[in-house]
């Protein structure tokens, strides 16, 4: 600002320092404006402080473990949803794969397959669902909303049929149980691992780049030679496998496999986490760390309200409002970003 | 005349009962800028799509650097150095300039992990765009933050960087103001000076592109009706030709209406 200098003529050092401060504040503002993860992280921290001040038990070891368990599996599915959503598609069936995969594992184990391989079979079954979703969407050109709505019901029916509608109890060895989600540390480690690996894939690898290109400009991406169908197929498979993995992890944690577990509930939570975390449903843009934080925020809200005695009904109202508010802020922020072209 | 890079001989193409292109013969010399002009539906895009390997001609021959060829696919044409720049530019708004520059030609390390070498791509993109005189704030900005002219320039620079021998530009100045058009026309002039790449510009607004072209061809109802060096013709002459076509079209509409 040349005008400032002429008016006050401060000593040079002071001016420098002030400029630096202004620069820092400006940078902080730009960071908030540009980093979609920052705003959701701040929201998470504020919520933690709020619930901790109203109910100190909120940060007790037991409750934090509870919270981590709840958020972890949602975050794992959300990571897959983000990749599919960036392709401008959606996977509504992931929650049903969550219910199916542990049954595949259970029956394989009952048939004499060791647990590690039984889990592998469960993930392969999940991958097959991904292939079906991808094939119908990419090759038969049915919108993924419809494709996965169809497979959602089909898989649910299939799971109910093979289970006869009854829950079963997996009898994992302590090692397998602890490794595959039997406790909070294992669960959250899986979630953090999946998040970090896939965030890396998204921002630093060719697969991530082509995923963004596929959703950002489908025609353009195809014109430069990107096999957009293959990219979509891969991400559908990945999303399904993560749905299956989340189901297996929860099966060992709860030590019960319920054909009615997960379903549309966990699927919508995962998509809500993605959206709250800053992933655009229109495709071309998203963040997996954001989705992880989104899942954490949803977990904190649910857990915090439960602790402070707010009913589940109220929670749903707040969840809905949270999604709407985040979307409005998201749209405003992207308008701001677009307006600040030269920054 | 200098070395010939591309020639079509009596190329025709029909879609069902509609003849899009009949007996079209064009030639392109090395380093030459050819304006392919014509009204909507004159067959410009059909001819372009034949040159990019998207359509196969029903009859006629195609010569590339003196040899007869048959283009199997878009990627086959591209592997020969025939690079189309489409109207949508095939740029990804959400990605930075340098990532767009290297889209599908990424510099990578880490074997099958295919990790992007952002440093190398950023540096090379910056150097190359400087060299081409393409002015942008930074190679790190998202494409969505650039103007129409800048985007067009990035798309063209990307194709040239990919070792294009023949650039096919589809309406490069469509819906652009004079200032934006100037960015792309300057770039075409600079490419012309270097003389390494030959360019076909498809346009129906010939006033914009007339100055940068060495030669113009006029396509009317699927036929090349006019082929002259820009030195020997003028925008006015072209306009008269098109007006004449327009009048006769109106005449036939009137006749058909009776």
Chain B's closest residue to A228, CA to CA, is: B104
Chain A's closest residue to B106, CA to CA, is: A206
* Cα four-point dihedral sign B104, B107, B113, B115: negative
Q: Answer whether B82's CB lies under 8 Å from B166's CB.
A: yes
The shortest C-alpha distance from B136 to chain A (Å) reads: 10
Chain A's closest residue to B136, CA to CA, is: A342
The β-bridge relationship of strands B215-220 and B33-38 is: parallel
Q: Answer whether A101's CB lies under 8 Å from A243's CB.
A: yes
Q: Which residues of B touch A (CB under 8 A)?
A: 74-75, 78, 84, 86, 88-95, 99, 103-104, 106, 108, 113-116, 118, 137, 144-145
Q: What b/e readout covers A84-116, taking b as 16+ CB neighbours within 10 angstroms?
A: bbbbbbbbbbbbbbbbbbbbbbbbbbeeeeebe
The shortest C-alpha distance from A40 to chain B (Å) reads: 21
Cα–Cα distance list, A58 to A82, B90, B134 (Å): 29, 51, 57
Chain B's closest residue to A207, CA to CA, is: B114
C-alpha angle with apex B28: B24 to B29, nearest 5 degrees? 155
- A35-90 residue pLDDT tens: 778 878 888 898 899 999 988 889 999 999 999 998 999 999 999 999 999 999 99
Nearest to A220 among B74, B75, B88 (CB): B88
Backbone angles phi and psi of A174, in degrees to 5 = -55, -40
Distance CA B8, CA B70 (A): 11
Q: Which of A197, A323, A246, A254 is nearest to A76 (CA)?
A: A246
pLDDT of B63 higher than 70: yes
* A199, A200, A217: best to mutate for the B interface, most B CBs within 10 A: A217
Distance CA B32, CA B130 (A): 23
Distance CA A284, CA B213 (A): 37
Distance CA B13, CA B28 (A): 20
Please give the residue that has the higher pLDDT: either B114 or B237.
B114
Query: What's this model's pTM, rounded to 2 decimal places?
Result: 0.85
- The pLDDT, as a whole number, for residue A203 is 95
Nearest to A206 among B93, B106, B144 (CB): B106
Q: Which residues from B are below 8 Å from A284, CB to CB?
A: 92-94
CB contact under 8 A, A221 and B145: no
Distance CA A253, CA B169 (A): 60
Q: Mapping DSSP to helix (H, G, I), strand (E, B) and coil, where does residue A5 land? A: helix
Q: What is the mean pLDDT of residues B160-183?
A: 86
pLDDT of B170 higher than 70: yes
- The pLDDT, as a whole number, for residue A339 is 64
CB contact under 8 A, A216 and B95: yes
Q: Which residues contact B69 (CB under 8 A, 6 or more apart)?
A: B62, B63, B80
DSSP B112: G
Long-range contacts of A269-272 (CB under 8 A, 24+ apart): A269/A74, A269/A78, A269/A295, A269/A298, A270/A74, A270/A77, A270/A78, A270/A80, A270/A81, A270/A94, A270/A95, A270/A295, A271/A78, A271/A81, A271/A85, A271/A90, A272/A298, A272/A319, A272/A323
Determine the number of helices (DSSP H) and then strands (DSSP E) in chain A: 15, 0
- The pLDDT, as a whole number, for residue A302 is 85
CB contact under 8 A, B92 and A217: yes
Q: Which residues contact A146 (CB under 8 A, 6 or more apart)?
A: none
Q: Which residues from B are below 8 Å from A220, CB to CB?
A: 86, 88-92
Chain B's closest residue to A214, CA to CA, is: B92
pLDDT of B242 higher than 90: no
Q: What is the mean pLDDT of residues B229-233?
A: 88
Nearest to A220 among B92, B113, B114 (CB): B92
**pLDDT tier at B87, thresholds 50, 70, 90:** confident
Q: Token pair of B80, please?
A: 């020969």
CB contact under 8 A, B103 and A205: no
Q: Answer whether A260's CB lies under 8 Å from A168's CB.
A: no
Q: Which residues from A are below 8 Å from B114, CB to CB?
A: 205-207
Q: Which residues from A are below 8 Å from B99, CB to CB?
A: 209
Distance CA A51, CA A40 (A): 16
The DSSP bridge partners found for residue B8 are B62
| pLDDT tens, chain A, 343 aa long | 444 444 444 556 666 666 667 777 777 776 666 677 887 888 889 889 999 998 888 999 999 999 999 899 999 999 999 999 999 999 999 999 999 999 999 999 999 999 999 999 999 999 999 999 999 999 999 999 999 999 999 999 999 999 999 999 988 888 888 899 889 999 999 999 999 999 999 999 999 999 999 999 999 999 888 999 999 999 999 999 999 999 999 999 999 999 999 999 999 999 999 988 889 888 999 999 999 999 999 899 888 888 888 777 887 888 788 778 877 776 677 677 666 543 3
- The pLDDT, as a whole number, for residue B92 is 95
Q: What percentage of chain B carries pLDDT values higher than 90?
A: 46
**pLDDT tier at B1, thresholds 50, 70, 90:** low
The β-bridge relationship of strands B82-85 and B166-170 is: parallel
HEC states along A280-298? CCCCCCCCHHHHHHHHHHH
- Residue reference for tokens 């195609």: B62
* A214, A220, A335: best to mutate for the B interface, most B CBs within 10 A: A220
DSSP A168: B
* Cα four-point dihedral sign A109, A113, A116, A122: negative
pLDDT of B249 higher than 60: yes
- B178-204 residue pLDDT tens: 888 888 889 999 999 888 899 999 987
- Residue reference for tokens 């060299």: B131
Q: Helix H segments across chain B?
A: 44-51, 74-80, 97-101, 118-131, 148-161, 178-194, 206-209, 235-257
Please give the residue that has the higher pLDDT: either B92 or B223.
B92
Start-to-end C-alpha separation, chain B:
51
Distance CA B241, CA A29 (A): 59
Q: Which residues from A are below 8 Å from B94, CB to CB?
A: 212, 216, 284-285
Q: Which residues from A are below 8 Å from B86, CB to CB?
A: 220, 223
CB contact under 8 A, B92 and A205: no
CB contact under 8 A, A216 and B116: no
Distance CA A289, CA A329 (A): 18
* A33, A200, A206, A279: best to mutate for the B interface, most B CBs within 10 A: A206
Chain B's closest residue to A227, CA to CA, is: B104
pLDDT of B116 higher than 50: yes
The DSSP bridge partners found for residue B64 are B6, B67
Question: Would you mind telling me the total number of residues written for chain B in this entry?
Answer: 258
C-alpha angle with apex A277: A298 to A321, nearest 5 degrees? 55
CATH architecture of A37-339: Orthogonal Bundle (1.10)
Q: Mapping DSSP to helix (H, G, I), strand (E, B) and coil, where does residue B133 land? A: coil
Q: Answer whether A75's CB lies under 8 Å from A195's CB.
A: yes
Q: Answer whether A138's CB lies under 8 Å from A232's CB.
A: yes
Q: Helix H segments across A35-93?
A: 36-54, 61-86
Chain A's closest residue to B144, CA to CA, is: A338
């Amino acid at each position: 600002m040349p005008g400032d200098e002429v008016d006050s003529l401060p000593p040079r050092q002071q001016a420098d320092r002030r400029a630096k401060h202004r620069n820092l504040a400006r940078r902080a503002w730009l960071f908030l404006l540009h980093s979609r993860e920052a705003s959701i992280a701040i929201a998470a921290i504020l919520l933690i402080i709020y619930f901790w001040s109203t109910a100190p038990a909120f940060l007790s070891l037991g409750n934090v473990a509870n919270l981590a368990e709840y958020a972890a599996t949602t975050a794992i599915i959300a990571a897959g949803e983000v990749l599919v959503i960036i392709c401008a598609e959606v996977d509504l069936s992931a929650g049903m794969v969550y219910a199916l995969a542990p049954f595949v594992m259970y029956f394989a184990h009952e048939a004499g397959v060791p647990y590690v391989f039984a889990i592998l079979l469960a993930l392969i079954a999940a991958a097959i669902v991904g292939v079906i979703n991808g094939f119908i969407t990419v090759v038969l050109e049915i919108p993924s909303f419809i494709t996965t709505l169809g497979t959602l019901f089909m898989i649910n029916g299939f799971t109910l049929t093979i289970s006869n509608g009854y829950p079963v109890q997996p009898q994992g060895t302590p090692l397998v149980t602890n490794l595959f989600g039997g406790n909070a540390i294992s669960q959250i480690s899986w979630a953090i691992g999946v998040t970090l690996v896939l965030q890396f894939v998204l921002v630093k690898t060719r697969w991530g780049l082509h995923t963004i290109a596929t959703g950002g400009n489908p025609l353009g991406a195809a014109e430069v030679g990107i096999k957009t169908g293959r990219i979509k197929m891969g991400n559908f498979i990945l999303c399904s496998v993560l749905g299956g993995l989340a189901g297996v992890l929860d099966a060992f944690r709860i030590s019960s496999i319920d054909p009615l577990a997960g379903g549309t509930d966990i699927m919508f939570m995962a998509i809500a986490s993605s959206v709250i975390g800053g992933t655009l449903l229109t495709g071309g843009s998203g963040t997996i760390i954001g989705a992880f934080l989104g899942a954490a925020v949803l977990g904190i809200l649910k857990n915090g309200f439960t602790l402070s005695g707010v009913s589940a009904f109220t929670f749903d109202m707040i969840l809905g409002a949270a999604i709407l508010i985040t979307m409005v802020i998201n749209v405003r922020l992207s308008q701001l970003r677009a307006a600040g072209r030269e920054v | 005349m200098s070395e010939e890079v591309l020639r079509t001989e009596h190329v025709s193409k029909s879609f069902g009962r509609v003849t899009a292109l009949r007996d079209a013969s064009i030639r392109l010399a090395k380093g030459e800028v050819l304006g392919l002009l014509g009204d909507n539906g004159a067959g410009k895009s059909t001819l372009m799509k034949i040159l990019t390997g998207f359509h196969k001609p029903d009859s006629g021959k195609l010569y590339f650097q003196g040899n007869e060829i048959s283009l199997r696919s878009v990627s086959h044409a591209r592997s020969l150095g025939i690079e189309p720049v489409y109207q949508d530019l095939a740029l990804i708004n959400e990605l930075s300039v340098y990532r767009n520059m290297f889209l599908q030609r990424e510099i990578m390390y880490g074997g099958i992990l295919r990790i992007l070498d952002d440093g190398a791509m950023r540096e090379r993109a910056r150097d190359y765009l400087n060299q081409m005189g393409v002015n942008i704030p930074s190679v790190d900005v998202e494409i969505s933050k650039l103007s129409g002219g800048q985007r067009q320039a990035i798309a063209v620079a990307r194709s040239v960087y990919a070792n294009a021998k023949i650039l096919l530009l589809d309406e490069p100045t469509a819906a652009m103001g004079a200032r934006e058009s100037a960015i792309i026309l300057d770039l075409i002039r600079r490419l012309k000076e270097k003389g390494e790449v030959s360019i076909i510009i498809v346009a129906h607004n010939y006033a914009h592109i007339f100055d940068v072209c060495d030669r113009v061809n006029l396509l009317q109802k699927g036929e090349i009706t006019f082929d002259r060096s820009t030195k020997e013709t003028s925008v006015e002459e072209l306009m008269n030709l098109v007006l004449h076509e327009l009048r006769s079209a109106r005449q036939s509409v009137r006749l058909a209406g009776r």
